[in-house]
Amino acid sequence: MIFKLSDKKYSMKKNKIALNLALFSTALSGVLVGALVVNKPTSTDIGASFAATEKYHQSVTERSQTATSKSDVADKLSQDFIKIAKDVRPTVVSIYSTKNIKQTARYHEFLDDPALKKFFNSPHGKKFQENNGGGLEEEQAPSKEQGLGSGVIIDKSGLILTNNHVIEGADDISVILNDKRKFKAKVIGADPKTDVAVIKLEKSSNLPVAIIGDSNKLSVGEWVLAIGNPLGLTSTVTSGIISAKGRADVGIADFEDFIQTDAAINPGNSGGALINLQGEVIGINTAIASKTGGYMGIGFAIPSNMAKKVMTDLIKSGKVTRGFLGIQIQNMTETLAKSLNVEDPNNGIVVGEVSPDSPAAKSGIQRYDVVLELNGVAVSDVNSFRNMIASDDPGQTIKLLLLRDGKKVNANIKLGSLDPSKTASNLNKPNQTNPHKNLKPALPDRKLGFELEELNPELLKRLGIPKKITGVIITSIASDSAASQAGVGRGDIIQEFNKNKIVTMIDFNKAVKSLKSGDSVLLKINRVGQPVLLAFTYP
C-alpha cells in the first residue's frame, strides 16, 4: 500500500511539472513569435544578404586568383632566369692578365762608396750603375701586376670578346672556363676607342658559344642578367633592368653609346655578358659609376651592335675601320636654334667647322648647317650621330637632310676613312679650361658684358697662339652677363660675329653697331684651337 501511495504522490507531482513546462513553453513561443513579427525580414533584405554574401565570395575568389596569377608570373620569371643562367654561364669566362713592370731602386749619392756598394750588392750579383749626378740605381727583378676580368665566347674555336682595358698591356693572358679548364690566350685585336678587344684561346675547340642579340631592340625597363667574374667570384649571375640607353660623355672611351643597367656589376665583371630574357648577349659589361669603387646601382655596357662591328673588323684585319665625314659638330641649344631659325631646339645638330678636302667639304657642307636627318633617321645629339657615322664603312654613301638659312637641303656624301690617330672631338663643351693668362683688358662693351683686345704678333707670341689664327680676344667677362651664361669665356677668340668675319676691332665694331636689344648674337670662337659656336640674346 505504501508503495501505491507513493506512486500516487509521484503521479500528482509529475503532472504539476508537466503543466509548468507547458506554460513556460507557451510563453517562450509567444516571445519568439513576437520577435519574428517585429523583425520579420523583407524580400529586399534577403536579396541584399544573398548579394553581399555572393560579393564577399567573389572578392575572396578574385584575391585568390590574383595571388595565384602573381605567383605564376614570378615563378615564370624565376624559371626564365634559371634557364638563361644554365645556358649562358658556360659561354662566359674568367680572364687573368699579367703585366711585367720593370723596377729600379734609386740610391742617394752618399751611397756611392765602394764599401757601401759591396754591402748593398746582393749575393746574386745585382749590378749597380752610375746615374746622372753620381746617384745609383739597382736593377731589380720586374714586379707583376695582375688583372682580372671576364669575357664571352663568340666562336667554338676559342674566340672571346672582352674589354680592351682587361687585356691592355698584358704580357700573359690566362682564361678559365666555367668547367674549370684553363687555357693560355693571345690578343687578336683591340680597339681603345670603344674599349673592345678580341682574344683567342690556344689549343681549344668545340666550345660553347654565346648568341649575340640586337641591342637596338632593347627597351628601358626590360629585364636583363649580368654574368661575369666579379671580385674573382666566377660565373656570378645578377639581375636588373635596362635603366637607360645611349649614355655618353662617361669618359671611358672616344665612342660611347652605353647601356645603363642596375644589374649588380663590380670589378671583375668587365668584359662579361649582359643578357636579355631570350638568352642573347645584348651588351658587354664595361664600367660602373661609383664613389666607393663598388656596386652602387649604376653600371654601363657596350651595346652588342657596336661591339659586333668592332669585333668583326678586329677578327678580319686586326684593326677597326670607321667612316669619316670631316665636320666638327655640336649639340643644339635654344639660343643657337633662335639664331639659326630652327623651330625645335631638340631637333638637329650644328656644323661648327668643315675640314678642308674632306668628304663633307667636297659635298658642299657649310658651317652653320643644321643636320636634321641621317639616312632618314632624325638626329638629335652629337654622340649618336658620330657613332652612326663611325659604324659605317669607308666608301659607303650616306644621305643627310640639312637646314641652311631656313631652307631644307639634301646631301649625298661618300664617306672617307677616319684616321686612327685622331680622337673624338665634341664641341659641346663650352666651359673647357682656358690656358690664356695675363691678358690686359681693353675696349670694354658694357652691354655685351666682355672686354676685347685685338690680336697682334706680340700677343700671339706671348699667348702661344699660332700666327694663322685671326680675330679679337676676350680679355675679361662679367660673370652675370648673357654672354658668360651662354658659355663665352676669357681667352676665347671671336672669329665671326653673326656670320661676319672678324679680324680687327674695326670689323667687330661694325658688326655690333647694328645690334638692337633682343637681337640674337651668334659667335664663332676659337677656344684652345677648337672652333665653337655660341649664341645669346643682346640685352
For the question of residue 436 being annotated catalytic, the response is no
- Beta carbons within 8 Å of 155's beta carbon, 6+ residues apart: 207, 209
CATH homologous superfamily of 323-417 equals PDZ domain (2.30.42.10)
For the question of residue 165 being annotated catalytic, the response is yes
CATH 2.40.10.120 segments of the chain: 89-120+141-320
Q: Which pLDDT score is estimated for 508? A: 92
What residue ranges in 304-423 does DSSP mark as E strands? 323-324, 327-331, 349-354, 370-374, 377-378, 397-404, 407-414, 416-417
| Pair 249, 260: CB distance under 8 Å | no
- Beta carbons within 8 Å of 194's beta carbon, 6+ residues apart: 164, 253, 254, 255, 302, 306, 307, 310, 320
Residue among 165, 191, 257, 339 flagged as catalytic:
165
CATH 2.30.42.10 segments of the chain: 323-417, 444-537
Q: Which pLDDT score is estimated for 424? A: 47
Q: Which pLDDT score is estimated for 38? A: 43
> What is the pTM for the complete model shown?
0.73
| Pair 185, 171: CB distance under 8 Å | no
Q: Which pLDDT score is estimated for 11? A: 43
Tens-digit pLDDT profile for residues 382-420 = 999 999 999 999 999 999 999 999 899 999 999 999 887
Q: What is the pLDDT along the chain (539 residues), one digit of tens a residue?
A: 333 333 433 344 445 545 455 545 554 454 444 444 444 455 555 555 556 666 666 766 666 666 667 678 888 899 999 999 999 999 999 999 999 887 655 544 444 555 444 444 544 444 444 444 445 555 566 678 889 999 999 999 999 999 999 999 999 999 999 999 999 999 999 999 999 999 999 998 899 999 999 999 999 999 999 999 999 999 999 999 999 999 988 888 899 999 999 999 999 999 999 999 999 999 999 999 988 888 999 999 999 999 999 999 999 999 999 999 999 999 999 999 999 999 888 989 999 999 999 999 999 999 999 999 999 999 989 999 999 999 999 999 999 999 999 899 999 999 999 887 665 444 444 444 444 444 444 444 568 889 999 988 888 888 888 888 999 999 999 999 999 999 999 999 999 999 999 999 999 999 998 889 999 999 999 998 889 999 999 88
Q: What angle do CA 226, 229, 230 make, to 5 degrees?
A: 85
Q: Which pLDDT score is estimated for 230? A: 95
For the question of residue 270 being annotated catalytic, the response is yes
Please report how the helices 382-391 and 304-317 are oriented relative to each other, as an axis angle in degrees rounded to 10.
Answer: 30
Residue 261: name the closest of 239, 279, 278, 277 by CA.
Answer: 239
Residue among 94, 150, 270, 304 flagged as catalytic:
270
Q: Which pLDDT score is estimated for 358? A: 95
Tens-digit pLDDT profile for residues 308-325 = 999 999 999 999 999 999
Q: Which pLDDT score is estimated for 56? A: 63
Residue among 195, 369, 492, 507 flagged as catalytic:
195
The phi, psi pair for 371, rounded to 5°, reads -85, 115
> Which CATH number is 444-537 given?
2.30.42.10
- Beta carbons within 8 Å of 340's beta carbon, 6+ residues apart: 350, 368, 370, 403, 522
Q: Which pLDDT score is estimated for 71? A: 78
The phi, psi pair for 386, rounded to 5°, reads -60, -40
> Which CATH number is 89-120+141-320 given?
2.40.10.120
